[in-house]
A and B are shown apart, each in its own frame.
Chain A
Amino acid sequence: MRGARLSRWLIAGPMALLALATIYPLVFTGNAAMKTRRDYILDRFAFADTLRWDNIATAWTSAGTARYFANSVIVVAGAVAMLLLLGSMAGFALSHLRFRGSRALFLGCLAALFVPFQVIMVPLVRTMADTGLVDTYPGLILAYTAQYLPFTIYLMASYYSAIPTEITDAARIDGNTTYGVYRRIMLPMGRPALLSVGVLNALFCWNDVLIALLMMPSAEHRTLMVGVTSLRGQYSADIPTFASGVLIAAVPVLAVYLFFQRRIADAVTAGSTKG
């Protein structure tokens, strides 16, 4: 028994080191953002003596970061709204309604899950360009919707299948149509699932760079992640300002993570254990 307890602590040592290696890169970046250029060059490791926000202000106002931030918020909000609406509708239909071809449609959605964006990006961008959707907000929103919809449907369908048919049957006896069941039962009862899936999709869209890079070529429509990559060239000699830009892009994600940690993990694992 004592031996087991000792070996537990022997395991905990490397685990603590790994935890440090996981957190420290972000601490280093946050610290760099709080330093003057001179302080950073003299000693990278020393902690900043005061919290100075002027680097953050510089990164925010110059280089269009504020603009990119707004672009990202618009696109992420639009894509998440679309994903939740279409995903919950389709997820409900596939989990609770049996109709001709429902099985084939479900398999089709699953098959789309295995078509990565890299494989279809060339024809997709061409089609989008032909229809005038490239470099517009709706275009990028649509691209994100197409990208994450199969996964969203899959998750919503597996969440909804946990809602017992007794409840939906009862709702029908009370005189609800299918649409009524969707609006009065599925949407309210699925709220935790919608929140989890919404947060996960928001992270995916916020963090993406490849799709944004292809779909939003002009500078005024850049999303924040593409903006951060352009900051690097601009501030290669001014690490504290560059680190500030990275921090601006990371802070919303960190906040979401702190608030919704459990939900994100739930959504990720719902895709792994079921089916």
Chain B
Amino acid sequence: MPLGDFTPLSARPALAGRAEGAATASRRRRQTAGLSAERLSPFVLIAPAVLVIVLFRLWPLLLGVNFSFTGDGERNGAAVGLDNYAELFADPLFLGALRNVGWLVLLLPVAVAIPGTLATFIYLRVPGHRFYRSVYFFPAVLSPVIVGSIFNLLLSFDGPVNTLLEVVGLGPVDWLGDSDVAIFTVLGVHIWATFGMALVVFLSGFATLDPALLDAARSDGATLPQVIRHVIIPGLSRTIQFVFVTTMIGMLTSMFGLIYVMTSGGPGGSTYLPEYYIWIQQGQMNRPAFASAASTVLFLVMLVVGLAQVSFLRRTGKED
């Protein structure tokens, strides 16, 4: 319960009792000044943050959408209607980037299932669960630049991973140079780097699970898959939903560093994602209005994918 004006009220009788003569007026003035400062305090506390968020986060969003309907270069600032969008959807690079988003969506269940399964085992206390928890989490704190650089060394054509494959009798794979493979390589590295984050979220979801349910299932003789299917998945539906959405957002917005370091969008533009495309149009091609159109599309894609996931997961959650 906030008690914004409690202090002045309680202080008033004491002050009024002591205040006499000429001092009263000035004291009362000071007191009302204190009162209004007190009443304004929530706004004073929150104003700097709101200012920063509105000026540098929300306003640019509107600015960007508006900007996407204007031209670049010679047509700088002129309204061009949907020209940018038409050009965008005719550009094979951008279509490739959207196709890669499709791959992300398809691979999303894998990216959620891996940390989910591992968290289940850790929760059920496999030997060494404490150790695994901290080891698995650790790549999640590394920068994509560091992760990308390390995997550039590991995945180079004559690098350690191919050497290992040779030992087992499999041919070398051109992990980053083959346009059919590269996007999956980058995605795999992204999953390697981020599953620890989802794992920790899963574990905190497990902390809210009622252990009595697990004991009951066990004493009824449920097998591990049955426990997972009938106790853990329904009990964690909120956490699973959260991980699905955050993992998807992570894939759409935090792979820039990996792509920048590992493939630069190549080979042949096969590893483009919308965010990388925006950066190229803005930074390299100097086409900010066109880049804004791509940004708007990315925003819509995220909105649609996010809402679709939430409604899908809610429906499956109800069926259980």
Residues of chain A whose beta carbon lies under 8 Å from any beta carbon of chain B: 7-9, 11-12, 15-16, 18-19, 21-23, 25-26, 28-29, 32, 44-45, 86-87, 89-90, 92-94, 96-99, 102, 105, 108-109, 111-112, 114-127, 142-143, 145-147, 149-150, 153, 165, 168-169, 172-173, 175-179, 182, 203, 206-210, 213-214, 225, 228-229, 232, 239, 242-243, 246, 249-250, 253, 256-257, 261, 264-265, 268-269, 272-273
Cβ contacts under 8 Å, B10 to chain A: 173
| Complex interface bits, B146-171 against A, C-beta within 8 A gives 1, otherwise 0 | 10011111100001100100000000
- Closest approach, in angstroms, between the C-beta of A4 and any C-beta of chain B? 9
User: Which chain B residue lies CB-closest to A177?
Assistant: B38
Q: Which residues on the B side are within 8 Å of A118 (C-beta)?
A: 252-253, 256, 274-275, 278-279, 295, 298
Known: A115-B299, A145-B56. 13 other contacts (CB 8 A): A28-B150, A28-B153, A105-B50, A115-B57, A127-B63, A145-B52, A165-B2, A172-B7, A178-B45, A207-B143, A213-B279, A256-B141, A272-B201
Contacting residues, chain A, for B139 (C-beta < 8 A):
22
Across the interface, which residues of A come within 8 angstroms of B49, CB to CB? Answer: 86-87, 89-90, 109, 149, 153
B136's partner among A19, A168, A272 (CB-CB below 8 A) is: A19
A160, chain B: closest CB distance, angstroms: 12
Closest 6 CB pairs of A and B: A207-B143, A146-B56, A269-B204, A90-B49, A178-B41, A123-B63
Known A86-B49, A90-B46, A127-B60: A22·B38 in contact at CB below 8 Å: no
Which B residues, 243 to 268, have Cβ-Cβ distances below 8 Å to chain A?
243, 246, 249, 252-253, 256-257, 260-261
**B13: Cβ under 8 A from any A Cβ:** no
Please give, as numbers and ranges, the residues of chain A lying within 8 Å of B118 by CB-CB distance: 15, 18
A92 touches B45 (CB 8 A): yes
The interface-forming segment of B23-31, B126-134, B175-183, B312-320 is: B126-134
Please give, as numbers and ranges, the residues of chain B lying within 8 Å of A214 by CB-CB distance: 279, 282-283
Indicate which residue in A125, A145, A175 contacts B7 across the interface (CB closer than 8 Å): A175
Partner of A108, one of B53, B154, B283: B53
Contacting residues, chain B, for A29 (C-beta < 8 A): 149-150, 153
List chain B residues, Cβ under 8 A from A44: 159-160, 163
Q: Which residues of A contact B53 (CB under 8 A)?
A: 108-109, 112, 146, 149-150
Residues of chain A with a CB closer than 8 A to B154's CB? 25, 28
B219 at the interface (CB under 8 A from A): no
- B32 CB → nearest A CB, Å: 14
Give A87 to B238 CA distance when docked, in angstroms: 27
A150 touches B145 (CB 8 A): no
The reply to whether B56 and A122 form a contact with Cβ atoms under 8 Å apart is no
Residues of A within 8 A of B136 (CB): 18-19, 22
Docked-complex contact A165 and B256, CB < 8 angstroms: no
B48 touches A96 (CB 8 A): no
Interface check B291, CB cutoff 8 A: yes
- The answer to whether A15 touches B46, judged by C-beta atoms less than 8 angstroms apart, is no
Asked whether any CB of chain A lies closer than 8 Å to the CB of B121, the reply is yes
A142–B1 touching, CB < 8 Å: no
Q: Which residues of B contact A112 (CB under 8 A)?
A: 53, 57-58
Please tell me if B270 contacts chain A, counting CB pairs below 8 Å. Answer: no
User: Measured between C-beta atoms, what is the minimum distance from B113 to chain A in Å?
Assistant: 14
B135 close to chain A: CB less than 8 A: yes
Complex CA–CA separation, A267 to B34 (angstroms): 37
Docked CA distance A23–B134 (Å): 11
B283 adjacent to A19 (CB under 8 Å): no
From B45, B46, B253, A116 is in contact (CB under 8 Å) with B253
Residue of B nearest to A250 (CB): B146
A120 touches B256 (CB 8 A): no
- Quick one: which of A7, A127, A268 contacts B201, CB cutoff 8 A? A268
A268 to B253, CA, bound (A): 17
Chain A residue nearest to B207 (CB atoms) is A273
A143-B56 in contact (CB<8A):
yes
B contact residues around A115 at 8 Å (CB): 57-58, 61, 299
* Chain A positions within 8 Å of B257 at CB level: 207, 209-210, 225
Partner of A232, one of B43, B261, B274, B299: B261
A96 to B279, CA, bound (A): 41
Query: Does B94 sit at the interface, judged by CB under 8 A?
Result: no
